Chains A and B, each alone.
Chain A
Amino acid sequence: MTHRITARSGAAVLAVIGLAAVAACSSSSSSSSSTAASSSASATTSASSGSNPLSPGGSSTSVVIGSANFPENELLAEVYALALQAKGVKVTTKLNIGAREVYYPQIEKGAISIIPEYNGTLLTVEADPTSTAKTTAAVDAALTAKLPSSLTVLNPAPAQDSDSVTVTAATAAKYHLKTIADLGPYASSMVFGGPPEFKTRPDGLAGLKANYGLTFKSFDPLDESGPITLAALTSGKVQAADVFTTTPQIVTDKLVSLSDPKFNFAAQNVIPLVYKPDLTPTIESTLNAVSAKLTTSALLQLDVEVITNKEDYTTAAQNWLQSNGLG
């Protein structure tokens, strides 16, 4: 009988150890997402208390800077917040709020004052879904015309987080590739990888054909500039892929995003979206100064620091501002 009991309790211990091991594995791999989830929970609660109906239009003493729920956007919000604090503006941050459909109504009614946005997506998702504007200037003009009266955008940064045709540095060197057009003679022997919808969307395969005359050997449906696409590109399963221009692996895996002189992909410049009643000359000049210095390579480097090197957002933002004379 004692023997039986030991066997049974041994089994129980084993089961517990097994479960703990599984839990430990999964928690270590998703530690960032769990902290993100908890901070988003706190953000939502503070957001609801921040959108005090007694102070419509937001208070004039403190501006609220929000961000979407992905690292680059949180980092940009930190950059804005620290730059404004350096100019004596009182700032509260509500980072990691959620996707655009969650935060956009909040900024529209003034519960958030400023949010880092991307001009192309802001235009086609919120302001004017029918717009076909492609260049930075055209997108900004359309945005200014179509945004609701409570919202405005400041100057766009040169930094873009857009779709791109990306190849490995080795491929780029071998075929002397700089722009998408340079792929002309080689596309027919290359497999292209991208998110499944790239096959049908207007700026996908059809756009590459119409703008640059490219027809690839075949198309592999993968993910949206995520681990599958990057693994396919670095392992040579695909020779070119749709990768976002500020993906940290562009630096760490030595990839090259080809430039897009014919604007197949719409401009996606980083741009501050502002609740108009909260806008002051100080805010405008400060954020315009930040945007002027923010290039795609600077943003890519910042993304490497916070995503790959797990550096603290505030530290990374502060260092960048200081090295550019903005902090």
Chain B
Amino acid sequence: MSFFSWAWDWVTTDANWHGSGSIPQQLVAYLGYCALPLLIAALIGVPAGVAIGHRGGKRAVVVINTANAWRAIPTLGLLILLAVFLGFSPLTWLLPLVVLAVPPILVNAYEGVAAVDPSVKDAARGMGMTPWQQVTRVEIPNALPLILVGLRTAAIFVVATATIAAYIGLGGLGRFIIDGLASDQYGPVAGGALLVVILAVLVLALFAGLSRLVIPAGLRKQAKTE
């Protein structure tokens, strides 16, 4: 049997859609395991990246390189380490996923703001905007395409990785994958993986829609003519 027939048979089995630990239940739980770390990472990464991009200079280089090196931290390793040292507080699963999601958000927000055309920044200053106005009205709108790229990358990372929550006994789609592997049942393994993939594709679509909504029309036009 192929991956898809394993997955399809499992996903279309009616019994897997009802009761405790069913697909809808774990899917909802999984969205929670993805959304919360992503929200926290965005609250850290976007303001930090924008601030660093706005100030620029040597310190920016340090922060951005640290953030990039930060990506080398293995998520599963961190999870097990925290389980051993913190026990089973919410931080144990939250922290590794936040650590995973912050770097792409921060680096892209920085790049977006730092790359705003200097003449645009000069114009903003020349019009008498305060530094706060320059950031909120000029730099952030101009950096939005890249900020969204960062958020999208982080969202895909988190959606593809939050299955590890199941490793410390929590729920979510990882439950199907880990339990299936442990008991040699490939249906739930393939099915769980397929659901993760579908979710990741939906996230992509969501961000494509989001970028149409929030990116200023002028910027989109500019991108087209370029």
Contacts and interface: CB of A to CB of B under 8 A. Distances in A.
Interface in B15-73: 58, 61-62, 65-66, 68-69, 72-73
Contacts of A138: none
A227 B80 CA distance: 7
**Residue in A21, A200, A228 with the greatest tally of chain B CB atoms within 10 Å:** A228
Contact of B62 (A14, A29, A220, A235): A14
A150 B194 CA distance: 46
A126 interface: no
Interface stretch (A115-123, A191-199, A269-277): A191-199
B74 A193 contact: no
Given A222-B168, A228-B168, A231-B83, A197 B182 contact: yes
Interface string B159-184: 00000001111000001001101110
Contact of B83 (A7, A220, A228): A228
Specify the main secondary structure of chain B where it touches its partner: helix
A260 interface: no
Specify the main secondary structure of chain A where it touches its partner: helix
A195 B179 CA distance: 9
Contacts of B178: 196, 221
A199 B182 CA distance: 10
Contacts of B66: 14, 18
B87 interface: yes
Contacts of A18: 65-66, 68-69
B88 A232 contact: yes
A21 B70 CA distance: 11
B88 A22 contact: no
B183 A200 contact: yes
B213 interface: no
A196 B84 CA distance: 19
Interface in A27-75: 29
Contact of A221 (B69, B73, B166): B166
A10 interface: yes
B65 A235 contact: no
Given A21-B69, A22-B72, A195-B182, 4 more contacts: A10-B58, A15-B65, A18-B68, A196-B179
Interface of B: 58, 61-62, 65-66, 68-69, 72-74, 77, 80, 83-84, 87-88, 166-169, 175, 178-179, 181-183
Interface of A: 7, 10-11, 14-15, 18-19, 21-22, 26, 29, 193, 195-197, 199-201, 220-223, 227-228, 231-232, 235, 237
